[in-house]
Structure 1
Amino acid sequence: MAKPKRAGIYVRISKDRKGEELGVQRQEKACRELCERMGWSVLKVYPENDVSASTTSKRGRPAYTEMLRDARDGFIDGIVVHSIDRLTRRISELAGFLEEQQKHGFAFATTEGEDTSTAGGRMILTIKGAVAQQETERMSERINTSLLQRREQGKPHAGGKRQFGFKEGSCFQELDQAETELVREGHRMLMDRNPKTPGDVARFWNSCGSTSPQGGAWTIQSVKRVYRSERTGGIVTYKGQDIGDSVYAAPLTREQWETVQALLDSRATPAPHGSGRRKHLYSGFLRCGNCGSALRVQWATVQGRTFRRTFCHSGQRGKDGRLGCGKVSRKYVWIEQQLNEVIAAALSAREPQRQEAPAEDFRGGIGLLEARIRTLRGRWKDGRMADEDYFDSLAHLREELRTLRARAAASVVRRSRTESDAPAVWADETVENLERRRAIVASVIDHVDVFSVGRGRRKPPETTSIRITPASG
C-alpha cells in the first residue's frame, strides 16, 4: 500500500466532565508523533470530545461519520487513531470499518502498532475490538446491578431536568410546597364529579402565576407531562418497570397517580372518537366518504350568507400520511340534524339505567400482594433466596399488583363519571355541556362517512349521502 499523502487523525474520549479536552489533546499529540515517524502528512483532525462509542450509547458520532465519508471520497487516504477502543467499542462497527478500508483502499494505523494489511493483523485487531466491547458490556452490567439495588431500596434516579413539585437541586428528594399544592389542586379538579380538563388545570396554574420548570406558560401537554410522570406519584422505575415506592415524599400518592392515569387514558381517544375540546358537536366523527380523511368543520361566508360547512382539506394529512382529496364539501346543519335524530332514537331505545352495584373493593387484594412483595424482599436481602428466584417471583407479583391497581383506578373513575340521566344531559345544548354530549355521541356512533352531493342542488340531500357506523359494544 502506498504511503498516504493526506492522513486524517481521529481522536475521541467518552467523558470529559470539565470540558478541558485534555484527553483528546494527548491522543492527537501521540498520533501526530506516529505520523511524523512514518512520514505521513496530516491533513485534518476529527475530534470527538465527551462522546461514547459503546454498545449502550445512542448518540451519533458526526466526526466519525465525516471521517469515513472523506475516506470514501478520497479526500483523505489514511486514518490514524490512538488505539482501537478509541475508534470503536462495537465489534459490528469495527467489522464495517475494516470492510470500508478494503473496499476504498485507505491506510490505517494506531499508536499500538496494529497491522491491517494481512489477515493475521485484521484478526488480532478484531480480537482487540471484541475485548473492548466485552469490557464496556461488563461495566454496563455492574452499573445496572448497582442502579437496580438502589431502586429496590426506594431511591429513584436523581438525574434529569427539574420536575414540577420538587425543589430545584434536591435530586427529587424534597418537595416544593407551593407547587405540590397546585399539583394536588389540579388532581382534585380532574377528579371532580363535573370534571375539568388538563386545559382547565393549565389555565388555573397560569392564573396563579406559576410557570413550568422551563420558565414558560403552562399548556395542556406540559400539564399532562406532570401527571404522567411516575415521580409525581412517588413510584420508582427501572428500565420502564415499576420497582416500588420511593422512600421520599411525592406530590401525589400512588393511588391518586394511578387514578389520574386511568382518567387521562380514558380521554386519550383518537380524534374521530371525539376527544379533546371542540366547538362543534360532531367534529372528529365525520370522515370523507371518498378518501377517508377526517373532515373539518368551520364557519364560512359565501355571497353574504354565513353558515357552517364540513369539508375535506386537500392540504391536511391523515393518519396514513396521505393528503385529503378535497372532493367533499357539505353544509353542516343538515348532517347535524340527521345525526341528532339518530342519537335521540338510540337514547330513547335504551332501558332505564339500573342502580349501580356497589363498587368492588380492591384494597384487600392490593394490601395482600404488597405484603407478599415485602416478605419476598426481606428473604432476598437476608440471603435466604437466590437472585434468579427472587426476580422471577417479584416480576410475577408486580404484574398482578399492576393489574389490580389498574382495575381499582378504573373503578374510581367509573364511579365518579356515572351518568344518571343521559337524555337530560343530551337535551342540555349549552356550550359548557358540549363535552358530555360528545361522550354520549361516542357511545352511539363510531364515525360517519360523508359523500359529495354535487353542486347546485336545491332539494335536501338524500339520507344515503351519509353512512353511519355505530359504536362497537
Structure 2
Amino acid sequence: MTRAAIYVRISRDREGGGLGVARQEHDCRELAARHGLAVAQVYSDNDLSAYSGKPRPSYRRMLDDIAAARIDAVMAWHTDRLHRSPTELEEYISACEPRGVPTYTVKAGPLDLSTPSGRMGARQLGAVARYEVEHQVERQQRAKQQAAADGRWGGGRRPYGYESDGLTLRPEEARAIAEVTDAILSGTSLRGQAAEMNARGLVTSTGRPWTANELRKVLLRPRNAGLREHRGEVVGPAAWPPLVDEDRWRALVSVLTHPGRRTQWSSARRWLLSGLALCGVCGAPVRATLAAAGSRSVESYTCKVGKCVSRNAAELDTYIGSVVVERLSRPDVAELLASPDGPDSGALQLDAAALRERLAGLATAYADGAIDVRQLREDSERLRTRLTELEQKMATAGRGDALAGLIGVADPAKAWEGLDLHRRRAVVDTLMTVTIHRTQKGRPRGWTPGSSYFDPSTIDAAWKG
C-alpha cells in the first residue's frame, strides 16, 4: 500500500493546545482514506510561520524521508502549509520529482509534480501565496506606522508598567520604574536595583527575574516618558500615561548611555575608592590590586602610574565611611545640598525642551517645503549636538541627588550601611576628593600593640564646594 505522509503547520497557536494542527490532521486523514492511502507518518510544525525564516524541523525531516523513499505521497491541508518561498518550492519539487511522489491537498486539490504542467500549477499557487503574504506584511507595517504617528500602541508583549492593553498603568510596576529611575539618577547601580526588585518579588512582564541588562532595556524605553517610538526613532507623544516625566527620562538615558559608565563600574566592583582616590605624589587615580603585606597579600589601593603609594583597601574604605557618616551627622548637613555655582537643573530642562520644540519645528518646515534637505540636516545636527550637551549637564546636575535620603536622617551610620557600593561611590564623589599620601617607615605615631598600622593622618579627605 502507498505510504502517505501528512504535513500540518499553523503560524500562531493562539489556543496553545495545537488544536489548529489537530484539525488539519483530521481533514488530511479523511482525504487519505478517500484516496486509499495508508498514513505512515505525521509531520507537525506547530506555531511556526512558513514565512518567518525560522527552521521547520519536521518539514526538513519529511523531505529527508521522501528522498530516502520512506514516503510515497504527501497530504497537506493547503499548499501554503508546505512552502514559504519559490526557492523552497523548488527544493520540494526536486525531492518529489525523481520518484513521482504526488501531493494531495484538502483545499487546493492534487499536485502532480512529475509533469511540467503540474509543476507550473504548483509554481503559480506558490507565487499567489507569496504575494498574499507580502501584501499582508505591507499592510501590517503601514498600520504600525500609522499607529506610531497617532501615538497608539502597536501591540505585542505586555510592556512592563502597563496592563495588556498597553495603555492602563499597572500601579506597582509603574511605581517601581519611577523609583528605579530616581535611584539610578542618584548614583545607584543597575545591578543593585535589579537585585532589589527581585528581593521585593517583582518580576519582568514575562515572569522572569530581573537582570541588570533587562532592567536597562526597560529604563531606556521612550514609552516610559509617554513617547511613541517607531523603528528606533521617537515620533511624538503617545496615548498612554508616562511613568516618569520626559526630562528625568532623558537625563537617565544620558547616564545609562554614557561611554564611561561600564568602565567606571567594572573598576569599582568591590572597592569604594578605586578610580576615585588620588595619589598624593603624582596625582594619578589609584586602583585596587593585591599587594604584599609581610608574608601575605592583601587588597590594597595602589597608584596606577608609578606605584607611588599603597594602602590597605578595606581599612581605608572603613575610614572614609566613618568620615562621611561624621559629616552627615553635623548640624549644618543641609548645606551640602546648596550648590550656588552648579548648573540650574530647572533652567537646563527648559532649555532642553525648547531645543526639542525647535527640532520638531524643523521637520514641519521641511514637510511644508520651507527648508531644503541640506538645511534640515545641518540644523538638525547642530540642535542635536546642543541637546546632547544639555542632557549631559542635566545628568551631572542630578548627581546631587546622590545625597537623597541621607540629609537629616536620625541615624546616618545606618543609612550609609544601607547603601549599595555604587551609591556609596556616588556619595563620596559628590562630597569629597580623597588623596593618599606616603607614609613613614615603621609604626605610625600613637601605635599600640594589637592595633592596625593604618595612619589616618596620611589621608586627605577634602570637601567639595
* Residues 204 and 25 of structure 1, relative CA distance in 2, 3 Å threshold: closer
Distance 1:110 1:343 in 2: 83
1:187-230 alpha-carbon deviations (Å, 9 max, x no partner)? 233223xx2222343455567x4512456665433432331233
Kept in 2, the 8 Å contact 1:299–1:307? The answer is yes
Kept in 1, the 8 Å contact 2:185–2:395? The answer is yes
* Residues 206 and 146 of structure 1, relative CA distance in 2, 3 Å threshold: closer
Three-state SS of the structure 1 residue aligned to 2:42 is: strand
TM-score, scaled to structure 2: 0.61
By how many angstroms is 1:117 displaced? 0.5
* Residues 144 and 191 of structure 1, relative CA distance in 2, 3 Å threshold: same
Residue 231 of structure 2 corresponds to residue 236 of structure 1: no
| Number of equivalent positions | 356
1:100 to 83, 95, 98: 95
* Residues 364 and 279 of structure 1, relative CA distance in 2, 3 Å threshold: same
Gaps of 5+ in 2: 276-287, 311-340, 401-420, 430-465
Distance 1:298 1:5 in 2: 75
Kept in 2, the 8 Å contact 1:89–1:136? The answer is no
Distance 1:197 1:369 in 2: 32
Distance 2:76 2:374 in 1: 45
Kept in 2, the 8 Å contact 1:299–1:306? The answer is no
State the structure with more CA Rg. 2
Distance 1:172 1:392 in 2: 38
Residue 355 of structure 2 corresponds to residue 365 of structure 1: yes
Kept in 1, the 8 Å contact 2:100–2:114? The answer is no
Residue 217 of structure 2 corresponds to residue 225 of structure 1: yes
Distance 1:392 1:41 in 2: 70
Kept in 1, the 8 Å contact 2:197–2:203? The answer is no
Match of 1:339?
305
Distance 1:216 1:21 in 2: 25
By how many angstroms is 1:249 displaced? 0.8
Kept in 2, the 8 Å contact 1:259–1:409? The answer is yes
Match of 2:395?
413
Q: Which amino acid aligns with 1:80?
A: M
Q: Which amino acid aligns with 1:97?
A: Y
Q: Which amino acid aligns with 2:58?
A: A
Q: Which amino acid aligns with 1:113?
A: P
By how many angstroms is 1:153 displaced? 0.8
Residue 177 of structure 2 corresponds to residue 197 of structure 1: no
The 5 Å alignment of 1:66-105 reads 66-102=61-97, 105=99
Kept in 1, the 8 Å contact 2:100–2:113? The answer is no
1:278 to 266, 269, 281: 269
Match of 1:161?
158
Match of 1:307?
297
Match of 2:238?
246
Gaps of 5+ in 1: 284-296, 309-331, 345-354, 380-384, 386-390, 419-429, 438-473
Match of 2:124?
127
Three-state SS of the structure 1 residue aligned to 2:141 is: helix
Residue 166 of structure 2 corresponds to residue 175 of structure 1: no
Q: Which amino acid aligns with 1:278?
A: R
Distance 1:94 1:306 in 2: 71
Q: Aligned-pair RMSD on alpha carbons?
A: 4.6
Kept in 2, the 8 Å contact 1:5–1:77? The answer is yes
Q: Which amino acid aligns with 1:307?
A: S
* Residues 47 and 234 of structure 1, relative CA distance in 2, 3 Å threshold: same
* Residues 197 and 267 of structure 1, relative CA distance in 2, 3 Å threshold: farther
1:269-298 alpha-carbon deviations (Å, 9 max, x no partner)? 666x76364226779xxxxxxxxxxxxx98
By how many angstroms is 1:307 displaced? 1.3
Kept in 2, the 8 Å contact 1:212–1:222? The answer is no
TM-score, scaled to structure 1: 0.61
Residue 142 of structure 2 corresponds to residue 152 of structure 1: no
Distance 2:68 2:292 in 1: 60
Q: Which amino acid aligns with 1:66?
A: R
By how many angstroms is 1:137 displaced? 0.7
* Residues 144 and 217 of structure 1, relative CA distance in 2, 3 Å threshold: closer
By how many angstroms is 1:264 displaced? 0.9
1:128-183 alpha-carbon deviations (Å, 9 max, x no partner)? 101100001111111221222122111123431351x33x34x2312244443443
Kept in 2, the 8 Å contact 1:199–1:219? The answer is yes
Residue 138 of structure 2 corresponds to residue 141 of structure 1: yes
2:180 to 153, 166, 186: 186
1:48 to 45, 64, 85: 45
1:361-389 alpha-carbon deviations (Å, 9 max, x no partner)? 44433212234556889x8xxxxx9xxxx
Match of 2:103?
109
Q: Which amino acid aligns with 1:71?
A: I
By how many angstroms is 1:53 displaced? 1.1
* Residues 244 and 342 of structure 1, relative CA distance in 2, 3 Å threshold: farther
Distance 1:29 1:374 in 2: 58
Distance 1:217 1:37 in 2: 53
Distance 2:57 2:375 in 1: 44
Three-state SS of the structure 2 residue aligned to 1:95 is: helix
1:307-327 alpha-carbon deviations (Å, 9 max, x no partner)? 15xxxxxxxxxxxxxxxxxxx
Distance 2:131 2:148 in 1: 25
1:50-87 alpha-carbon deviations (Å, 9 max, x no partner)? 43212xx2444232122223334443343222332121
